[in-house]
A and B are shown apart, each in its own frame.
Chain A
Amino acid sequence: MDKDEMNKKIEEYENGSLIKPLSSVKYLFKKPHTLQYPKETKPVPERYRGFHINDVDKCIGCGNCRDICPCAAIAMVDPNGVHPIEVKEGSNPVRPQIDYGRCSYCGLCVEVCPTGSLKLSKDLIYTSPDADSFVWIPLEEQGREPGFTQSDEITPLMLEKEEMQELEPDVRKKTFEELILGFNEEQAKKEAMRCLGCGVCMQGCPAHMKIPEYIQAIFDGDNTLSVKYMLEDNALPGICGRICTHACQDDCVYNYRGDAIQIMWLKRFATDQLKDYGKSELEKMPKSGKKVAVIGAGPSGLSAAYYLATMGHSVTIFEKRPTGGGALGLGIPLYRLPVYELDKEINHIKSMGVKIKFNTEVGKDVSFEDLMKKYDATYMGIGLSYGRSIRLKGEEHPDVIQGVDFLRSVKVEGNREIPKRVIVIGGGNVAMDVARTAIRLQQISHGGEDTMVQTVSLEDWDIMPASGEEVEGALEEGVIFNPGWGPKQVIFDENNKIKGLEIVKVKSVFDEKHRFHPTFFEDQVKVLEGDFIIESVGQMYNFSFIPKEMFEQLKFTPRRRVWVDEYGETSIPGLFAGGDLVETSKGNAISAIANGHRAAVGIDRYFQKKK
């Protein structure tokens, strides 16, 4: 409409009429456009935002809907009265309950639902004189038709992870340099920003670390605070930031719609930013005058020592080897955990006043009875430091060695000798460490020559115990896998040198009751060629330092682990145990750290009771 047209129209509007309004009389004869509800209804639009629908079996009770609700209309409650639920790992046993007196039907709860179980329906009609009846747990069986649902393209969740930089396979297999390069600040903040803060991950962590809090602190740029949160439950955060089995990430709610938050790398980032943890240190209690002996400077021993020290007790660690860290220091390859990182963490624990006596073996340099007498309590964290033999025919040959011995010789003694064709027996994470270490040694010693590392494991791909990342890394670096085969015997040539390993096809690994009981197709046999065999199928403990009469008092579980109560105390009063020795440990560092912490609390409680 231009100016002239407008002026013309204004003129029309200025000249009123008394006749024209009468033309509206025609509406008397027109059909009204109102509908006679409930006889006539209007179709409800597809995206309608009405009452909620929740698939409570799919829902994991993470509570993100409650946290985003602008009206505080959502409460997380036990749904078992209306719909019994199965409590899965990585879920909370609660489900959303909506107060429709508060709900504004904005649908933000639907947008942030990680599982997609929550929807809005096309139904918005409910009347009752009872105000309390407007509060209910939405269920699928209430029969409402879905309306507003979440979209894959437009979602406030940040589904994609920040990619971690690592050395290329060609470069990394020639070096023991750390292969994961770590986040820079921008990447760490971006990754931290993805976290919803629901804390479902804390269930998966054996130490129940305060993950949402430390991620928030990283996002806020306060790494000192972040590490403080970590130290509350984990005495070795920098190490766990590198080698943890990160069960937390398996429980991350993002797994349902995208990539899990890389919690472990974030932890590593925060600890890497601090030269030492001085400013993040926990408050130290006044001196109690109690003395505690800790046997073994592995993750559980260090963890127990650290927390005992914060409680004001004086702690001495006895370690038979010249370095600390136990399996972490001796077994984990350098490309996964560099020495300086281990030193940093051990120095931190020493800075709390913990004394560590290296090269002091209990049972040889000091007697176990003396420790029990001289100290108010003793903690045993000796781990499984001896390789377990599979009683393979021909394994007594010097070129058949144990995986833990091999890793130790490489890391501690600096051994760089390796034959050109290596066979690794085992399919767990330690076997992967062995294979990947062997491939690096070959590249260093025989670079450019024809070399080979292959593994053989009873378990097929689908039940391989090693983590997916480890298997993938090993494959990229050129390790050859033989999954689903069992070792039968070592084959020797006429000069009594190893020629290869005879292996036999596996029928099944477990019996019907899921117990370890391998069976084989005896007719399907083949020979893997190689001149060096490393066995890496598990480790065991050695209790020879405990006097016989005392050892008899020590109770064991049916699975031959040391029995401990809920505070980590063994059947011998004043003797506590943790780490791989006990059943609650899942054979990883974080479990050992967690039950070291638990024993520290137990020892403190033991002192209180004795008073």
Chain B
Amino acid sequence: MSKSYELFIGPNHPGIPGNFSLHLELEGDTIISAKGDPGYLHRAFEKGMENRLYIQNLALIPRICVPEPDINEAGYSMAIEDLMGVEIPERAKYIRTIVLELARTTAYLLWMGGYAASLGLYTLGQWATGDRDYAIDMFSELTGARVYHMYIWPGGVRRDLPEGWEEEVLGYVKYLRDKLVDYDNLFFKNAMFIHRAKGIAKITQEQALEWGATGPVLKATGIAQDVRKDDPYAAYPYLDFDVPTLTEGDSWARAIVRRFEIDNSLSLIEQAIKKIPKKGPVWTKMPNPFKWYVPAGETYAKVESARGEHGFYMVGDGTGKPYRVSVRGASTPHMFTIAEKLLVGARLADASHILLSLDICPPEIDR
């Protein structure tokens, strides 16, 4: 008689970050095998894009990542701009940077809430959700929508900044910086958290590289790799920041890297607002959307998302619709090559914790 048993977590489970299922095999409360079970969120984004005009995909792509939709808009636009050989205006580069960093902040706030909740601390989630909403207010002022902004588009951005928006953002940066002290006291410097997270789901530098880790997962093993530094886009080449790294490679180190990334984002927003050209166009004129033919060719445009390298591989065939678009989300390798291995041998109570420490975003897997 076998001692092991099967257990499904998800697709509807508070410990799973979205509509995604985990197929576990356990002995007692020790996981002996884990298999990711995707498809619950599959809406054929990539295939759908082939049947739509380039501009129509604008409504589709933000949905590939709910917590941080803007990275998709930026990556998609950069791919088209690259194929067409279009340079975007300086002011648009800065606006894109501000939007992307603000979006990164909101993505980390949302992650923070989920991560703390997976360890049993729900207060942080309440705070983070509230503080994320202040940023969403600013997004809706800038773009007209709360979550799916559809604001960054090929050629630049859709509208110039509303009057007084920069000051509001600076006010928010200051507010969040003050608030982060409380976040630290409650969570990041909490002895319970350190106790739970240290040494959990540890990976070495070699493993991280071999398994295709990017973003905070890779940075937590000591490798300072960041698309913003290595292959700069938008206004990042003009701004000053260091890539935070730790060496432990465990759940704790990944959380601290993300904590540093929030500091970085806030500082980048401040720098961008300081340096942004005060006047100038925010959009390079693009062709009539009904006859927007992108030259034949292929390209890969990537940005640094809150979870790692997020890229768009695009093939144009000289018509008004993309021949192929493939999205490289950081969550796919983090789930299938990393989480499936890390879960083996872990305790059931740590399953959610491990998934959240890798910040897996299911829609990035189900594209």
Interface residues of B in 281-299 (CB under 8 A from A): 281-283, 285-291
A12, CB-defined interface residue at 8 Å:
yes
Closest chain B residue, CB of each to CB of A122: B144
Alpha-carbon distance A23/B190, docked complex (angstroms): 11
What are 25 A-B pairs with beta-carbon distances under 8 A? A10-B246, A12-B189, A13-B189, A17-B189, A17-B190, A20-B185, A21-B187, A24-B182, A24-B186, A33-B130, A45-B162, A47-B141, A47-B162, A67-B290, A68-B289, A70-B57, A70-B58, A106-B148, A108-B58, A108-B59, A120-B144, A153-B281, A154-B283, A158-B288, A192-B291
Task: Assess whether B185 is in contact with A21, with CB atoms less than 8 Å apart.
Answer: yes
B327 to chain A, nearest CB (A): 17
Given contacts A1-B242, A6-B244, contact A48 B144 (CB under 8 A): yes
Say yes or no for A85: interface residue by CB 8 A criterion.
no
Give the chain A neighbours of B130 by CB distance below 8 A.
Answer: 33-34
Contact digits for B195-232, partner A, Cβ 8 Å, 1 yes 0 no: 10000000000000000000000000000000000000
Q: Does B55 contact A (CB under 8 A)?
A: yes
Whether A196 lies near B290 (C-beta < 8 A) is yes
Is there an interface contact between B55 and A219, defined as CB atoms closer than 8 Å? no
Q: Does B137 contact A (CB under 8 A)?
A: yes
Q: What chain A residues lie within 8 Å of B256 (beta carbons)?
A: 10, 13
Give Cα A147–Cα B162 distance, bound, in whole angstroms.
Answer: 13
The reply to whether the CB of B194 lies closer than 8 angstroms to some CB of chain A is yes
With A47-B159, A105-B148 given, name 8 new contacts (CB 8 A): A10-B256, A13-B256, A21-B185, A49-B144, A70-B60, A112-B289, A154-B283, A193-B291
- B104 to A: closest C-beta gap in Å: 16
Q: Mark A109-135, 1 if CB is under 8 A from B, else 0.
A: 001100000001000000000000000
Complex interface: chain A residues within 8 A of B53 (CB)? 68
**Cα distance A104–B159 when bound, in Å?**
18
5 closest pairs, A vs B, by CB?
A16-B191, A70-B56, A47-B144, A49-B144, A70-B59
| CB closest residue in chain A, given B286 | A156
Minimum CB distance partner of A151 in chain B: B159
Given contact pairs A1-B242, A16-B189, A197-B290, A147 touches B123 in the complex (Cβ within 8 A): no
Alpha-carbon gap, A33 to B133, bound state (A): 10
* A30 CB → nearest B CB, Å: 11
A3-B242, A23-B182, A68-B56 known; A13-B259 Cβ under 8 A: yes
Task: Give every chain A residue within 8 A of B159 (Cβ-Cβ).
Answer: 47, 151, 154
CB contacts (< 8 Å) of B58 on chain A: these are 70, 106, 108
Binding site for B on A (CB under 8 A): 1-3, 6, 9-10, 12-18, 20-21, 23-24, 27, 33-34, 42, 45-49, 64, 67-71, 104-108, 111-112, 120, 147-148, 151, 153-154, 156-158, 192-197, 216, 219
Q: A278 → chain B, closest Cβ, in Å?
A: 28
Task: Decide if A6 touches B59 in the complex (CB within 8 Å).
Answer: no
Q: Assuming A21-B186, A49-B145, is B56 touching A108 (CB within 8 A)?
A: yes
Contact B260 A45 (CB under 8 A): no
Flag if B123 contacts A157 (CB, 8 Å). no
User: Which residue among A17, A18, A42 has the maximum number of chain B CB atoms within 10 Å of its CB?
Assistant: A17
- Also in contact, A17 and B158, with CB within 8 A (given A23-B182, A47-B144, A107-B144): no
CA distance A105 to B192 in the complex (A): 44
Chain B residues contacting A45 (CB-CB under 8 Å) are 137, 140-141, 144, 162
In the bound complex, CA of A139 to CA of B283 (Å): 31
B123 touches A108 (CB 8 A): no
Residues of B within 8 Å of A21, CB to CB, are 185-187, 189-190, 192
Q: Are A1 and B260 in contact (CB under 8 A)?
A: yes
Cα A47 to Cα B162 in complex, Å, equals 9
* B145–A195 CB distance below 8 A: no
Residue with the highest number of chain A CB atoms closer than 10 Å, among B123, B140, B148, B291: B291
Instruction: Report the bound CA distance from A140 to B231 in whole Å.
Output: 49
Cβ B287 vs Cβ A193 within 8 A: yes
Residue among B127, B160, B288, B290 having the largest count of chain A Cβ atoms under 10 Å: B290
Q: Measured between C-beta atoms, what is the minimum distance from A12 to chain B in Å?
A: 7
In the assembled complex, which residues on chain A have CB atoms less than 8 Å from the CB atom of B189? 12-13, 15-17, 20-21
Name the CB-closest residue of B to A148: B144
B185 and A195 contacting across the interface, CB-CB below 8 Å: no
State which of B57, B144, B289 has its C-beta within 8 Å of the C-beta of A156: B289
Closest to B131 in A: A33
Chain A residues near B193 (CB, 8 Å)? Answer: 16
Contact partners of B140 in chain A: CB under 8 A: 45, 47-48
Residues of A within 8 A of B267 (CB): 1
Contact A196 B288 (CB under 8 A): yes
Instruction: Give the interface of B toward A (CB within 8 A).
Output: 52-53, 55-60, 123, 127, 130, 137, 140-145, 148, 150, 158-160, 162, 182, 184-195, 242, 244, 246, 256, 259-260, 263-264, 267, 281-283, 285-291
For A157, list chain B residues within 8 Å (CB): 288
- Closest A residue to B267 by beta carbon equals A1
The CA-CA distance from A105 to B59 in the complex, in Å, is: 8
Chain B nearest CB, measured from A105 CB (Å): 6
In the complex, which of the residues A12, A14, A18, A70 contacts B192, with contact meaning CB atoms closer than 8 Å? A18
Residues of chain B within 8 A of A46, CB atoms compared: 141, 162
Q: Report how far A153 CA is from B158 CA in the complex, Å.
A: 10
Q: In the complex, A194 Cα to B286 Cα: how many Å?
A: 11
Q: How far is the CA of A64 from the CA of B57 in the complex (A)?
A: 17
**Roughly how many angstroms separate A466 CA and B234 CA in the complex, as a whole number?**
54
Q: How far is the CA of A173 from the CA of B286 in the complex (A)?
A: 40
Q: How far is the CB of B363 from chain A (nearest CB, A)?
A: 15
- A190 to chain B: closest residue by CB: B287
* A16:B150 contact, CB within 8 angstroms: no
Q: Given that A47-B159, A49-B145, A158-B288 are known contacts, is A16 also in contact with B195, CB under 8 Å in the complex?
A: yes
- Nearest CB of A to B156, in Å: 8
Q: For B142, what are the chain A residues with a Cβ–Cβ distance below 8 Å?
A: 47
Least distance between B148 CB and chain A CB atoms (Å): 7
In the complex, chain A residues whose CB is within 8 Å of the CB of B285: 158
Minimum CB–CB distance for B122 against chain A, Å? 12
If A18-B192, A20-B190, A21-B185 touch, whether A195 touches B162 (CB-CB below 8 Å) is no
Q: A156-B289, A158-B287, A195-B288 are in contact. Are A24 and B59 (CB under 8 A)?
A: no
Which residue of the partner chain A has the closest CB to B48?
Answer: A70
Q: State the CA gap A71–B55 with chains docked (Å).
A: 12
| Separation of A507 and B162 alpha carbons in the complex (Å) | 56
Among residues of B, the one whose C-beta sits closest to the C-beta of A9 is B260
In Å, the complex CA distance between A18 and B195 comes to: 11
The docked-state distance in angstroms from the alpha carbon of A193 to that of B320 is 12
Given contacts A6-B244, A16-B194, A194-B288, contact A106 B59 (CB under 8 A): yes
When the two chains form their complex, are residues A71 and B59 in contact, meaning their CB atoms are under 8 A apart?
yes
A24 to B179, CA, bound (A): 11
Interchain CA distance A15-B252 in the complex, whole Å: 12
Which of A2, A12, A147, A197 meets B144, CB within 8 Å?
A147
Q: In this complex, what residue of B is CB-closest to A147?
A: B144
Q: How far is the CA of A64 from the CA of B291 in the complex (A)?
A: 13
Write out the residue numbers on chain B whose beta carbons fall within 8 Å of the beta carbon of A13.
Answer: 184, 188-189, 194, 256, 259
In the complex, what residues of A have CB within 8 A of residue B184's CB? 13
B353 to chain A, nearest CB (A): 17
Cα A197 to Cα B191 with chains together (Å): 66
Q: In the complex, A148 Cα to B281 Cα: how many Å?
A: 20
Q: How far is the CA of A147 from the CA of B141 in the complex (A)?
A: 11
Q: Which of B123, B191, B264 contacts A18 (CB 8 A)?
A: B191
Complex Cα distance, B223 from A472, in Å, reads: 71
Closest to B188 in A: A13
- B246 contacts which chain A residues (CB < 8 A)? 10
The residues of B that contact A70 with a CB separation of less than 8 Å are 52, 56-60
B150 touches A107 (CB 8 A): yes
Q: How far is the CB of A597 from chain B (nearest CB, A)?
A: 29
B23 to chain A, nearest CB (A): 33
CA distance A49 to B264 in the complex (A): 31
Instruction: Give the distance in Å from the alpha carbon of A15 to the alpha carbon of B193 in the complex.
Output: 11
Select the residue from A13, A33, A49 with max chain B CB neighbours within 10 A. Answer: A13
Using known A-B contacts A6-B260, A70-B57, A193-B291, determine if residue A23 contacts B185 with beta carbons closer than 8 Å. yes
